[in-house]
Structure 1
Amino acid sequence: MGTNNGKKANPGGNRENTEDQLKEYQAKFKALFDNVSSGVAIYEARNDGEDFVFVDFNPSAEEIEHINKEELIGKSVAEVFPGVKEFGLFDVFRRVYKTGTPEHLPISVYKDERVAGWRENYVFRLPSKQVVAIYDDVSAQKRTELVTRMTSECFRAIADYTYDWEVWVGPAGRVLWTNPAAERLTGYSIKEITAMSDYPIPLVYTEDRNRMDRAFRSALKGGTGNDVQFRIERKNGRIIWVAISWQPIYDEKGNSLGHRESIRDITDRIKAEQALEKAEHEMEKEIQTLKAILDKHGLKE
């Protein structure tokens, strides 16, 4: 038989290579464990998954949870984080420990008397049967989302339920947004108004178009206006009086976002003013007639 080309097997060398590879793996794992931005917690099961105790806890987890690693190593997760069962993570630990199948616990709120925040967890089992949770504190992100949503909802609630007709006109002169009051005043739907390429001319009463076209061009150039009166011809042909105010809109860098218009129906006010003017005119006529009669008969007032 041959002797493997004269080379002798070296079992000790293979063992040394394996140990070196293991040390290299452990060093890489520790570097990752210590420097990853996510929190990493390693648990060991007790009583076949009835409890889980901390085996390791990385620096990011210490920062997230405001606790030192030494305070929790060897302790039950339920003791250190009493809200873990209500949070749903404890049941995930049990399932992953039993099945070996990794699980994702979507973003949820964790809270106890010491800490609270939004957490997103990924849980898996090591060959040693230790359970690992890699998680992120997404509280800042969720707060931003909530503020954005609340701001948007507040804006929508205010804008949609404002009695006046509100319009956001872009720099190019097209309507970018308008509230439901538009249909109440004009008879045109929001969709019809935003589709108008020559807004606002189709809505303006013929005799007022030239004047309002000049005002609109001034608004597009960044001008302002307040309580400018004109007439709108509704979709059904009825004429109403309105007053419009407008002002430019800019982003945080000073770039133009167009302008905002606020339009209110003043038809009743105009009718009341016209009625008063007519009444005053009629009264003046009666006074002049009375004076004429007194003069005719040689009487003085």
Structure 2
Amino acid sequence: MTELAQQTEPLDDALPLGPGSLVWKYFGDNRMYLIGPRPAVLQNMLAELGQGVYDHSTFFADTAERLRRTIPPIFNTVYGSETDNAGTQVRDFHHHVKGELPGTDRRYHALDPDTYFWAHATFVEQIYYFADTFVKRLSPAEREQIWQESKTWYRRYGVSDRPMPATYADFERYWDTMVERVVVAHPSAKYGVGYVTKGFPKPKAVHPVVWRLVAPIFNPLAAFLTTGGLPPRARELLNLPWSDRQERRYQRFAAFWRSRPVTWTWDHLPMRVRYTGYALKGYARG
């Protein structure tokens, strides 16, 4: 059963989004590409969500087009204002996404609060993972601040917030339970990481000759960022190859990005280089 809610103002148990928020600071940072497709893969490892993608999405036929259609409204939800954001638009994309889980008598609906919240949780967790891994180690106070800001973000969708943990500590427990006990190797998730071993398919917009030149460099890098950027449990379930040596390389790679010279240089680049265009529009509006 779906539960929809109306919310236009941050509640007392949440913090607002805006130029001073940590969600704005990190979510639109262009270094976010370094985490690979972590949130998308983890989303599809929830059986109900993965099946919705499998049954209803163009993800398999045209992955690039699916991303182009999905990503802008998410950013416009985060970087929009309280009265002008894309939250309900994102929600309404999912009204028709429902069906049955194969081999069971269970039904799924994308707007079921537990299913919808999992998708949101993966986006919020990507902020924690990205910042801790490639920017700086977050303090307990920063972790809590991000969590309280994320409540405002989630409520913009107009979906019941019944599953939403009250504090960051509660979210940690929720996340650990989901990753260790609930997620599965759904075919949608396995498809999404198939290029790790098979190579990335040529994007439709790229000329075959160009792809032949780029692929030998792009594919190993994509595999490295994808596999290294997933929790160990997800790598295990998806049967992704990852050695101790690769882990050491990944940690050195992350430490390089966190190093003071690199972060100092990044912080002194123009905002148009550091942030996605959606974030720039939000900061310009103030």
* TM-score > 0.5 by shorter chain: no
Is the radius of gyration larger for structure 1 or structure 2? 1
> Which TM class, normalised by the smaller chain length?
under 0.3
Q: Which has the higher contact order (CA 8 A, sep 6+)?
A: 2
**Normalised by the size of structure 1, how large is the TM-score?**
0.19
Structure with greater proportional strand content: 1
- Name the structure with the higher helix share: 2
